[in-house]
Amino acid sequence: MLTLAIRRLMAALPSLVGVVIVTFLLTRALPGDPAAYFAGPAATVQAIEEVRQRLGLDQPLWVQFGNYIGDLVRGDFGTSLSTGQPVGFELATRLPASAELTLLGLLLAVVIAVPAGMVAATRPNGWFDQAVRVTATAGVSLPTFFTGLLLVYVFYYILGWAPAPLGRLDIFYTAPPHITGFYTLDALLIGDAETFLQALSQLVLPALTLGIFALAPLARITRGAMLEVLGSDYIRTARAAGLTPTRILIVYGFRNAILPVLTVLGMVLSFLLGANVLVEKVFAWPGIGSFAVEALVASDYAPVQGFVLTMAVLYVGLNLAIDLAYGLLDPRVRIES
């Protein structure tokens, strides 16, 4: 397993190098002048040029890139011109908010999609199977920002069941002490049930938005994998041996169908890390996605580069975790590697 992990990490290094180079070049190719933006609309040409010199934007592109690589080697992602804070500090502060939202959305999708796909596979072309396929198609067709706005309109504006979509906590509540960065978990750890319920209520709609988006591919791949497994010879043998349908479905069926489900689960989580950028803007969620969008609008290079590099590292770590999980679930993967 250790050899497999090292090989996967070494194979990912060229991708990370490519991400660093492409991100640097793309941010410089974006329209807009950061020096003119931060100098202000009434600034003179001389004032703009002074700001450009302070930011180092007057230097040749290769010099700027060398300085950027040198800072990365030291663990310095630069300073955000919008907030005045180090980018590393901003990302570390905001990452738990994005992670809490993404993981809860994925959990909701798994809890609903996997059992639904398993049951649909037991009665193909039945009414439940048709309902699952229609729901999956609708979920993957709707953009996340539209789903989020629709949920806000229905549950907040019309029904009044949900709190205002204004971040992680209501303005009258104080954030729990920082332990994990997850407000719900931190509130439980200190025994603050009121703050936990408030944080959870703020989290439900944005997590449900991501969950609906992730539900479709999970339900479809679970259904397809289970259909293939349930038609195998060993399943017919298990039925002939008199095993209960539940045992056949879970122990012999889903256990052998879990590898393609795990593959799609990793892909879905990768998609959610990107999709939460729009969801965070809809619900005023203070995560790294909204931070990157605000920096992009302001032509603030450092936060955008730090965000993309962070996402790339998360993708590499996620793919590595999936590969290791493969080896644990299927020993043949370890032997072949």
% of the chain beyond a pLDDT of 90: 10
- CA neighbor of 305 nearest in space, from 62, 67, 32, 27: 27
Is residue 103 a part of any domain in this protein? Answer: yes
pLDDT at 327: 67
How far, in Å, CA of 205 to CA of 145, rounded? 12
Distance CA 257, CA 254 (A): 5
Residue 225 amino acid letter: A
| Tokens 């995560």 -> residue | 287
Q: How far is CA 98 from the centre of its chain?
A: 7
304, pLDDT greater than 80: yes
Range of the domain at 243: 87-336
Q: DSSP secondary structure string, 295-329?
A: HHHTT-HHHHHHHHHHHHHHHHHHHHHHHHHHHHH
> Quick one: pLDDT band at residue 239, thresholds 50, 70, 90?
confident
Grade residue 4 by pLDDT with cuts at 50, 70 and 90. Answer: low
pLDDT of 205 > 90? The answer is: yes
pLDDT for residue 258: 81
Helix axes 255-282, 301-329, angle to 10 degrees: 160
Does 155 reside within a domain? Answer: yes
194 CB burial (10 A radius; 0-12, 13-18, 19+): exposed
Tokens at 157, concatenated: 């504006």
Distance in angstroms (rounded) separating the CA atoms of residues 112 and 100 = 18
The domain that holds 96 is classified in CATH as 1.10.3720.10
Domain count, the chain: 1
Contact 162, 155 (CB under 8 A): yes
Q: Is residue 58 part of a domain?
A: no
So what's the pLDDT on residue 203? 92
Per-residue pLDDT at 335 exceeds 60 = no
Q: Is 133 part of a structural domain of the chain?
A: yes
**Contact predicate 193/177, CB 8 Å:** no
- Judged by average pLDDT, the poorest of 109-118, 216-225, 327-336 is 327-336
User: Would you say residue 4 lies in a domain?
Assistant: no
Residue 212 near residue 151, CB atoms below 8 Å? no
Average pLDDT of 192-212? 91
| pLDDT above 70: residue 110 | yes
* pLDDT exceeds cutoff 70 at 298: yes
Contact 109, 140 (CB under 8 A): no
Comparing 336 with 218, the larger pLDDT belongs to 218
Residue 181 region by backbone torsions, left for phi larger than 0, else alpha for psi between -120 and 50, else beta: left
Quick check: 98 and 287 in contact, CB under 8 A?
Answer: yes
With a cut of 80, say whether residue 41 has pLDDT above it. Answer: no
pLDDT of residue 330: 63
The answer to whether residue 1 is domain-embedded is: no
Beta-carbon contacts of 185 under 8 Å, excluding residues fewer than 6 positions away, are 100, 179
Region 58-75: mean pLDDT is 81
Q: Residue 77 pLDDT > 90, yes or no?
A: no
Q: Is residue 31 part of a domain?
A: no
Distances (CA, A) of 284 to 156, 201, 227, 249: 14, 14, 41, 42
Average pLDDT over residues 129-156: 84
Whether 82 maps to a domain, the answer reads no
